[in-house]
Amino acid sequence: MKATFGAGCFWCVEHEFRKLRGVTSTSVGYMGGNKKNPSYQDVCTDETGHAEVVHLEFDPSVVSYAEILAAFWRIHDPTSLNRQGPDVGTQYRSVIFCHNSEQHEEAARSREAVQNSGRFKKKIVTEILPAPEFYRAEEYHQQYYEKCGLT
């Protein structure tokens, strides 16, 4: 199965998702904007509407979508609009791109549960949207932490 998330800079998000048992592959790229085949430079202008995302494949017999959602909520601040840490712009927004109606329903329930848990004092701003076309980022961005020896 596949899942796609935006939660800030895709380098660190990919690194965290790769740690999950049952995630069989990851790719970083761009999704949700208005430009076909955007480059990193295009997306960094904050004019394409794309988010930096991690697209992952997972084995649901090993890890559930609910467990992946739990990791998503844990690895970033979903109350921060268009920003994660020092990274600012719509490309760093918190977003769940759903590949089917079941994912959409589960993501919405999960967001509500996290909001109601009291874990975050501010309102969660995470978007939940149907998954549009995924544009794979340039090769040097793929598994960036591993390539740079940051693991």
Active site residue 9: yes
The pTM of this model reads: 0.94
Judge whether residue 145 has pLDDT over 70. no
pLDDT tens-place string over residues 4-57: 999 998 988 999 999 999 999 999 999 999 999 999 999 999 999 999 999 999
Q: Give the CATH number of the domain where residue 60 resides.
A: 3.30.1060.10
**Structural domains counted in the chain:** 1
User: What pLDDT does residue 18 have?
Assistant: 93
Judge whether residue 59 has pLDDT over 70. yes
Between the alpha carbon of residue 132 and those of residues 32, 89, 129, the distances in Å are: 6, 20, 9
User: What's the full length of the chain, in residues?
Assistant: 151
- Residue 146 tokens, joined: 């591993």
pLDDT tens-place string over residues 80-120: 999 998 999 999 999 999 999 999 999 999 999 999 999 99
Q: Do 44 and 81 form a contact (C-beta atoms < 8 A)?
A: no
Catalytic-role residue among 9, 12, 44, 148 = 9
Q: Which domain holds residue 63?
A: 2-147
100 closest CA partner among 76, 128, 74, 127: 128
Q: Which residue has the higher pLDDT, 68 or 147?
A: 68
